[in-house]
Structure 1
Amino acid sequence: MVEKETGFVEINGFPIHYDKFGTGNQPVLLIPGAIGTSFTDFMKQIEGPDAFDLKRFTFIVIELPGWGRSRPPKRPYGINVYDNDVDCAIKLMEHLNYRSYYVIGWSDGAKVAILTGIFQPSRVLAIVAIGLFVYCTKTNILPTIRTQKIDLWSPELRNNYLEVYGSDQLQSLWDEHINFCKDLHNKVGEYVNSRPDLKDVRIAVHERLFTDLGKIRCPVLLVHGDRDPLIGLEQAIYCQEKIANCQLKRFSDGSHNVHQTHSKQFHDLVIKFFSESEDYF
């Protein structure tokens, strides 16, 4: 069992909890996906045969507002929800006295990771974004909405989160997240109905994710599984075209959780990327 330090700091009205692993001089902020924690989302990066060297790196895993132990209050879903996530992540790293750091984010955490590079370009050394989703169309968020009933999840996935939340809390938190996704889907529908002349309607999940990708200064690595049932490759391609210093690594047989299913390849890829990024500035 890898030793960890846990703690929390009050930020924006939330008890923002974190887990800290390692003693290395290269700090890495890990941002889990929706309702995620270090236990549910990143343990293969922290312990086991494919873990990162914790004498080289120090991992800080944030639990975003309203998820994990960073509650109550409830997550403030709405137009500013990701702004609050980014603000909490940046202030947590400031509280821990990290002036510059790497960022790895998965799924919803990938959005927050990219936004840290937009909001704080002088602090973020490099970003790895796994399964990034930045805009909605008439159909592309429907696969996520269809995951609402946790009884339909694979037993392995469901049990992973049940250990953190229990069945009632897990379903309740996931319902809230899916309702947020439904709101995004409805916005697309409303816009399509108001502009039937438009064929390709895209609604930004967060305006700056859609318009300000070109303001990111640091190197970015996008990781995408070609068999991801939730997020299409076009999302990563769109971001790669907009970000100046950006690589896209595709896993032909990877799904949404490619960092978990291909943990050895992911480890080697990130180590190479971080090493190449050291001389960028």
Structure 2
Amino acid sequence: MLILLRKITSPLSNLSKNACRALSSSSAPKEEKIKVKNCDINYVKVGNGAHHALFLPGALGTIWTEGKPQIEGFDREKFTLVTWDPPGYGKSRPPEKEFTPDFYEKDAEMAFEFMKALKVPKYSVMGFSDGGITGLIHAAKYPDSVTKLVVWGTNSFILPIELEMYKKIRDINSWSKRMREPLIEIYGEQLFARYWAAWVDGMEAIYNAKNGNICNELLKNIKCPTYILYGQKDPLVDSVHASHLHTNIDNSRIHLYPEGKHHIHLKYAEDFNKRVQEFLLKP
């Protein structure tokens, strides 16, 4: 749910040989834009592999704050990886994000239209935190498009203790400088403060309107193979969520990182990438 709190680098020594060859030919993937409804979506596409995958960042997250180790580390001969700045985030502005109670559903629909605009009819979805919620809804509503689903640090409902925690960090002045700076760099201090407060208010609105439920009723509609990963020391997402998703999504599997926190795809990038690629490529 929260975005990257420190800059992550991924040394070439940790990448696959195929990824290293791809990086040597192009120092940095090119960001592109495509019109989807009323938004110019900013995205990066890397690789020429047969398996297409869409990476969905979390709250206020962007291509580079949350997807860098996967962009650099996925095998580009086996995968074509697409990562976006979600609508209203990063460089996918204007328009600005509106945290209405149905914003996850809107993002799921936009993701479908985005991939359709790219002319990719079948793909896997990889969703982190808020992006994982979008991914759950997306897989449930567009089963003919989604080959496999990978989610981590995500939830289908909000616990009372989680809502109270969100409220305590609503004011960005309560954050450390290290936590604030990456987001201020992207959004500017005023917009960042407004966005984050609006996100917290959006969570409270969802909680009050639906008794904490975000998308529980849709889990039964997810038919594709699903991989759930979770850091057991995640301070933002309670452990009940990983087991709940595993129990309620048919054909799902789970992997736990005992010392992992929220950003397991960054902290354990090499292991994470290996596990996820193996899952996606498994017949």
TM class, shorter-chain normalised? 0.7 to 0.9
1:13 to partner: Cα distance: 1.9
2:53 to 28, 38, 42: 28
Amino acid at match of 1:204: N
For 1:195, the equivalent position in structure 2 comes to none
* C-alpha distance in structure 2 between counterparts of 1:42 and 1:153, whole Å: 23
* C-alpha distance in structure 2 between counterparts of 1:251 and 1:154, whole Å: 26
1:44 to 44, 47, 69: 69
Q: 1:79 to 1:149 in 2, by over 3 A?
A: closer
For 1:257, the equivalent position in structure 2 comes to 263
Q: Which moved more, 1:81-90 or 1:21-30?
A: 21-30
Q: 1:118 to 1:263 in 2, by over 3 A?
A: same
Amino acid at match of 2:172: I
Q: Is 1:65 aligned with 2:74? A: no
Deviation digits for residues 161-207 of structure 1, max 9, x if unmatched?
Answer: 3332232322222122122123234447xxxxxxxxxxxxx5312xx
For residue 191 of structure 2, give the secondary structure of its aligned residue in structure 1.
helix
Query: Would the aligned equivalents of 2:140 and 2:222 in 1 still touch at CA under 8 Å?
Result: yes
Q: Is 1:268 aligned with 2:274? A: yes
* C-alpha distance in structure 1 between counterparts of 2:176 and 2:120, whole Å: 38
Q: 1:3 to 1:23 in 2, by over 3 A?
A: farther
For 1:120, the equivalent position in structure 2 comes to 142
Query: Would the aligned equivalents of 2:36 and 2:117 in 1 still touch at CA under 8 Å?
Result: no
Query: Would the aligned equivalents of 2:207 and 2:213 in 1 still touch at CA under 8 Å?
Result: no
Q: Is 1:147 aligned with 2:169? A: yes
Query: Would the aligned equivalents of 2:41 and 2:85 in 1 still touch at CA under 8 Å?
Result: yes
* C-alpha distance in structure 1 between counterparts of 2:142 and 2:277, whole Å: 23
Q: Is 1:91 aligned with 2:97? A: no
For residue 136 of structure 1, give the secondary structure of its aligned residue in structure 2.
coil
Q: 1:167 to 1:76 in 2, by over 3 A?
A: closer
Query: Would the aligned equivalents of 1:133 and 1:231 in 2 still touch at CA under 8 Å?
Result: yes
For residue 171 of structure 1, give the secondary structure of its aligned residue in structure 2.
helix
* C-alpha distance in structure 1 between counterparts of 2:78 and 2:113, whole Å: 23
For 1:193, the equivalent position in structure 2 comes to none
For 1:162, the equivalent position in structure 2 comes to 184
For 1:230, the equivalent position in structure 2 comes to 236
For 2:4, the equivalent position in structure 1 comes to none
5+ long unaligned stretches in structure 2: 1-22
Deviation digits for residues 17-55 of structure 1, max 9, x if unmatched?
Answer: 2222223222110000011111111111122xxx11223
Normalised TM-score (structure 1): 0.85
Q: 1:129 to 1:259 in 2, by over 3 A?
A: same
Normalised TM-score (structure 2): 0.84
For 1:199, the equivalent position in structure 2 comes to none
1:274 to partner: Cα distance: 1.2
